[in-house]
Structure 1
Amino acid sequence: MKFKLNINQTLQQLLKQEDTDKDKRITVDDKGPKRFILKSPSEEIVIEGTYYLSNLLQELVLAKENNQDFIETESLFQLPADRISKMIRKYFWDGLTRTLDEKGLEKLLLDSKSKTDKPIIYIPFTDNFGWQYFRKLAPIFNLKVVQLPKIISSEYVSSINNEGGILALALKKEDQNIEGFPFVVPGARFNEMYGWDSYFENIGLLIDQKLDLAQSMVENFEYQITHYGKILNANRSYYLTRTQPPFYSSMIREVYEAMTVKDQEWLRKKLEICIKEYETVWMENGKRLAENGLNRYFAQGIGLPPETEPGHYDAILKPFAEAENLSISEYENLYYHRKIENKTLDAYFVHDRSVRESGHDTSYRIEGNCAHLNVVELNAMLYKYETDFAELIALYFDNYFEYNSKIYNKKYWAKKAESRKKIMNRLLWNEQESCFFDYNFKTQKQNIFLSATSFFPLWAKIATQEQADKMIEKCLPKLVFLGGIAGCSEEALSTISKGQMQRQWDFPNGWPPHQMVIWRGLINYGYEGKAQELIYRWLWTITKNASDYNGTVPEKFDVVSASHKVFAEYGNQGTDFEYISREGFGWMNASFQLGLSLLNEDLKTKLNQLINPIELFN
């Protein structure tokens, strides 16, 4: 029903009465009466409670922006989970969508990461079309257009670290119009196209029937592999030597399977590109392939990663600064600009950049040793590449696929997958602990650290049923808390002193990709009931926080307290907004839509009633 009223006046009255902490939101932290009356000449509606009052605030803001003199009362009283899902589908994806072209440049260039007065866009040496296009736009946007060298060295990337420029993405020409393929950014301060975020975002896009946008994400990754040699950590200049967790085969497969009309040539081209990435990024000896046949993260680069916040490395730099009788900031500046040599720090930052390549930046699991680890999750992802290649070639190409003068069939890829599984079982599986652990190929020992990543072999279908049973019985309970799955068990941090900074990918924090992977892994091995429980815990956490905090959908949660108020480095993205969240956070949005699509109807009803998981499962 349309309820007519003076939008501006009502908005001001509501904020004056209910927004007692003056943050332009209505949350449980406000101390107002939590009761507001909407009046029209013919009727009145009483709005009570934080959730419904924050809905009113949001609907008034939307009405104001649309020059309406009414609000839809049905929207005020939507059930909480239904409203979050609608906001994601109707508003959040649009708020996170960007294009790197004339229409979208301004949104990307006005970014805190740009470190020069004149914004810079870098064009690959091999992309003449993009070079010509952006040179024409340069005067319009006061833009500096730079062509990258043919060979991008660590030294070159180090020389441009202070600029923070944007890296070009794919363009398309239709008739006389040139447009960028749209892409979804994570949100908040992450205003670029990120590597593994994009895969999880694509899951949500496909659920919300945004196939064209999901397909465009795949096109942009093809461009990155073709012109930059890898899927980038993100399309920012200082990420040129760094990739991220490999999910490209899953993206390709899921987008293709969502197509109503199957485009086999599209699939052929994408498979060729994905095989190229597999062979050149992951399987070249001496880089990300260890001698034992398993893989590692190994980001290139020199010195300090430039994207970190001030003070992040103070504890690492302090003893070296004191030895030189310098302040930490003085020493950091000299080391960053390579005016001081320090081989110990150089070795540390190889590991540190590799941590960032892993996407798990940061975690005590891989701090100071990442480049020496065959991590469980990476090898599970590459096993998934190998099995995806085998199955797609068998299903759609009659078991015959030619690429780069080489013939591939199902047997070729199945053999590679089986070889990887055998090595993983030999080096990563721990029978006594009933778990997969990362393997340090330098010390030739497992890193006994129970992490959510230990369960990636269930997602990739590597584990035997017996292994899965043991892991779910013995290890999974150590990761499950009120609000979902923690990044690691509490006991995994037993050797970390109380005074050390919490790492954001560790206990007590929980992240969307871990939840989504583990849900799928449980379903793969017949644990539907346990999957339902874990989905409910996570969705309840999202729904409760959004209900209490004006629609907040953040980057991560403290799953022990089931709160978005996280105390770790970098804080929590997606929580800083006024009046109404415009975008949530990319992979959190996707986890909600996936979870809701998997949750049974009875639990959906309980979710909308915000029934605490303790009442249902403990």
Structure 2
Amino acid sequence: MTGADASSRDTAERVAAVPAADPLTPADRYQELFQAVQRTRVFPDGKTFVDCIPRQDPQRILERYRAQQHRDDFKLTDFVHAHFAEEKAVASHYTSDPDQSLKAHIDGLWSVLTRHPHEHPAGSSILPLPNDYVVPGGRFREIYYWDSYFTMLGLVESGRRDLLATMADNFAWLIDHYGHVPNGNRSYYLSRSQPPVFALMISLFEERGLCKALSYLPQLRREYAWWMDGTDDLRRGDAHRHGVRLDDGSVLNRYWDDRDTPREESFLEDETTASRSVRPAHEVYRDLRAAAASGWDFSARWCDRADDLSTTRTTAILPVDLNSLLYIAERQLARLSESAGRREDAADFASRARARRDAMLRWMWDEAQGAFVDLDWQHGSRRELVTAATAAPLFAGLVDDDPRAERVAATVRERLLAQGGIATSEVDSGQQWDSPNGWAPLQWLAIKGFARCGQQALARDIAQRWLHTVGSLYQREGKLVEKYVLTHDDDGAHGGDGGEYPLQDGFGWTNGVTRRLLHEDPEHPAHRACARSRRGT
């Protein structure tokens, strides 16, 4: 038996051994018990309960709750702790060495952030996977779709081909099993996805010699079909799920969630937000869920009023970065279909890519601002807010030989370039996906987008500023975090603020992007950052 045969057999055996996921989400499974727990805040963080592990059969727990809840001596908190176990952080013997360089620290973290299929508890909300995978860290104890691509960038440079291979197979398995990649591998995430980066993943796999991208063509086709479901039959001005047909007949995409109830992991927060709106609650819930699908949860980008989350209208907005990623997928599908000898399919996908590009240049280019912006399809107008997403068409190759790339570069220098990197937006709304915060994935898209379009000086500048930001915090605190404030003080950089939960350490995509940028800039001072040097010990 060859090594390839053995590997194929091992993969098949792992897939066959994947235990069945609970078909119901926690809200569906526990019904009024779920609502009582979340509304009374038995746990300060709403995500805690939806990740809890039942100590016995879930149906039996619900029956006991119904039988006991009206007793005079019933205490909900006691009942919950008696019947559920909190999902604890995976035990690790890892201790950060204060003498470690930033690069060595990241290399050592991958094993800490790795989860194994045998660790999946029965009856919980986890969607079991066949292979090992890397989580972001902190409260995020499952994979997240778009996070994982940026994590993979670092795994490559750390020499962790083993994890790259297992994660590749996991994402293919999710598409085969569910028809799309969920927001994360939890049952309560199944109704939505995240920015579609599977095409980027398989390009990375091929570039690094892990496998031929052609082997993932079936999964890429199936995921694309999920995003485009129903669009071929749309009339002008109509929408269905992720697709919208505009008045000129072109089709662009939006974020969507198939449910219109409060997010289970943020149940009370969503009910509170909806109570402030004049719109029907189910519309607000759908738009909050769609914003979570975007990965930008939350931002003034989706709101009619920056200071009021209840004005979120995500499903009315066609995002420039989502459509850039789908343009990449269409071009990838055309290339791979041609390689597979499916010339008719190749021509169809190439035509779809051209049509999307034309529509984006027509509808999303703001000549006055010199930027790509989102489109409010319901109002028929471009959104005024300029965000870091303006670099996504450059990253996707829409304007490789186009003067618009230079205009975007000038706009970013003037309006978004901050001390520590490229700002998420110009608005300080109090939400985490706005100023003053900066995020690793947005730095990467901008750096590679500007470099692709001949704006190497700006690309280098953003990369150097970001490495200084991450290195400064690492030197002071010995860790990497989810997001960063891009304005430094006398102590250097600080972790970002805002949002529904505290700042998280870890952190998968920060590690990945930073590790890749360190590889590309071997002389940057961040290489010399170590925690002990700042502490003076």
* Paired residues of 2:495 and 2:503 also in contact (CA < 8 A): no
Asked whether 1:592 is paired with 2:519, we answer no
The one-letter code of the counterpart of 2:142 is: E
Asked whether 1:280 is paired with 2:207, we answer no
Q: 1: distance between equivalents of 2:242 and 2:179? A: 14
Q: How does 1:3-14 map to 2 (within 5 A)?
A: none
Q: 1: distance between equivalents of 2:196 and 2:269? A: 30
Asked whether 1:87 is paired with 2:102, we answer no
Mark the structure with the bigger radius of gyration.
Answer: 1
* Paired residues of 1:189 and 1:573 also in contact (CA < 8 A): no
SS at match of 1:230: coil
Q: 1: distance between equivalents of 2:224 and 2:495? A: 38
- Show the counterpart of 1:38: none
Q: CA deviation at 1:291?
A: 1.0
Q: Residues 379 and 191 (structure 1 numbering): CA distance in 2 closer, same or farther, change over 3 Å? A: same
Q: CA deviation at 1:318?
A: 5.0
TM-score of the aligned structures, taking structure 2 as reference length: 0.72
The one-letter code of the counterpart of 2:299 is: S
- Show the counterpart of 1:559: 486
SS at match of 1:120: coil
SS at match of 1:365: helix
Q: Residues 390 and 311 (structure 1 numbering): CA distance in 2 closer, same or farther, change over 3 Å? A: closer
Q: CA deviation at 1:188?
A: 0.5
* Paired residues of 2:420 and 2:487 also in contact (CA < 8 A): yes
Deviations 1:538-581 (A, max 9, x none): 111111111111x1200000112363343312355434xxxxxx
- Show the counterpart of 1:256: 206
The one-letter code of the counterpart of 2:220 is: C
- Show the counterpart of 1:329: none
Q: 2: distance between equivalents of 1:391 and 1:362? A: 35
- Show the counterpart of 2:169: 219
- Show the counterpart of 1:480: 417
- Show the counterpart of 1:337: none
The one-letter code of the counterpart of 1:596 is: L
Match of 1:416 among 352, 357, 382: 352
- Show the counterpart of 1:389: 333
SS at match of 2:245: coil
* Paired residues of 2:394 and 2:452 also in contact (CA < 8 A): yes
The one-letter code of the counterpart of 1:356 is: A
Structure 2: runs of 5 or more not aligned: 1-91, 232-239, 304-311, 531-537
Match of 2:499 among 569, 581, 586: 569
Q: Residues 282 and 202 (structure 1 numbering): CA distance in 2 closer, same or farther, change over 3 Å? A: farther
Q: 2: distance between equivalents of 1:605 and 1:546? A: 12
Asked whether 1:538 is paired with 2:466, we answer yes
SS at match of 1:564: strand
Q: How does 1:15-414 map to 2 (within 5 A)?
A: 83-89=101-107, 91-101=108-118, 104-105=119-120, 109=121, 120-121=123-124, 165-169=125-129, 171=130, 181-259=131-209, 263-264=211-212, 267-285=213-231, 286-292=240-246, 293-308=251-266, 310-311=268-269, 313-318=271-276, 344-367=280-303, 368-394=312-338, 397=339, 400-401=341-342, 407-409=344-346, 411-414=347-350
The one-letter code of the counterpart of 1:385 is: A
Match of 1:456 among 376, 385, 392: 392
* Paired residues of 1:513 and 1:587 also in contact (CA < 8 A): yes
Q: 2: distance between equivalents of 1:567 and 1:294? A: 33
Deviations 1:410-455 (A, max 9, x none): x332222111110001111111111111111111011111100111
- Show the counterpart of 1:10: none
SS at match of 2:379: coil
The one-letter code of the counterpart of 2:123 is: I
Q: CA deviation at 1:319?
A: 7.3
The one-letter code of the counterpart of 1:376 is: V
Q: CA deviation at 1:99?
A: 1.7
* Paired residues of 1:187 and 1:573 also in contact (CA < 8 A): no
SS at match of 2:494: coil
Q: Residues 478 and 249 (structure 1 numbering): CA distance in 2 closer, same or farther, change over 3 Å? A: same
Q: 2: distance between equivalents of 1:606 and 1:199? A: 23
SS at match of 1:560: strand
Structure 1: runs of 5 or more not aligned: 1-63, 110-118, 122-164, 172-180, 321-342, 494-500, 576-583, 611-618
Q: 1: distance between equivalents of 2:224 and 2:318? A: 16
* Paired residues of 1:532 and 1:600 also in contact (CA < 8 A): no
Q: 2: distance between equivalents of 1:530 and 1:318? A: 42
* Paired residues of 2:471 and 2:526 also in contact (CA < 8 A): no
- Show the counterpart of 1:14: none
The one-letter code of the counterpart of 1:85 is: K
Q: Residues 571 and 239 (structure 1 numbering): CA distance in 2 closer, same or farther, change over 3 Å? A: closer
Q: CA deviation at 1:202?
A: 1.1
Higher helix share: 2
Q: 2: distance between equivalents of 1:208 and 1:309? A: 38
Deviations 1:211-248 (A, max 9, x none): 22112212111121121121000111111111111000
Q: CA deviation at 1:477?
A: 2.8
* Paired residues of 1:206 and 1:255 also in contact (CA < 8 A): no
- Show the counterpart of 2:88: none
Q: CA deviation at 1:608?
A: 3.1
Deviations 1:43-77 (A, max 9, x none): xxxxxxxxxxxxxxxxxxxxx9699xxx9xxx765
Q: Residues 99 and 349 (structure 1 numbering): CA distance in 2 closer, same or farther, change over 3 Å? A: same
* Paired residues of 2:102 and 2:526 also in contact (CA < 8 A): no
The one-letter code of the counterpart of 1:418 is: R
Give the fraction of aligned pairs with identical amino acids, expressed as a percent.
28
Q: CA deviation at 1:476?
A: 3.5
The one-letter code of the counterpart of 2:260 is: I
Deviations 1:146-169 (A, max 9, x none): xxxxxxxxxxxxxxxxxxx11122
The one-letter code of the counterpart of 2:513 is: S
The one-letter code of the counterpart of 2:493 is: S
SS at match of 2:382: strand
Q: CA deviation at 1:209?
A: 1.9
Asked whether 1:426 is paired with 2:362, we answer yes
- Show the counterpart of 2:25: none
Q: Residues 530 and 167 (structure 1 numbering): CA distance in 2 closer, same or farther, change over 3 Å? A: same
* Paired residues of 2:318 and 2:374 also in contact (CA < 8 A): yes
Deviations 1:111-157 (A, max 9, x none): xxxxxxxx515xxxxxxxxxxxxxxxxxxxxxxxxxxxxxxxxxxxx
The one-letter code of the counterpart of 1:599 is: D
Q: CA deviation at 1:535?
A: 0.8
TM-score of the aligned structures, taking structure 1 as reference length: 0.63
The one-letter code of the counterpart of 1:166 is: I
* Paired residues of 1:573 and 1:585 also in contact (CA < 8 A): no
Aligned residue-pair number:
415
Q: 1: distance between equivalents of 2:383 and 2:423? A: 18
Q: 2: distance between equivalents of 1:574 and 1:247? A: 23
The one-letter code of the counterpart of 1:506 is: D
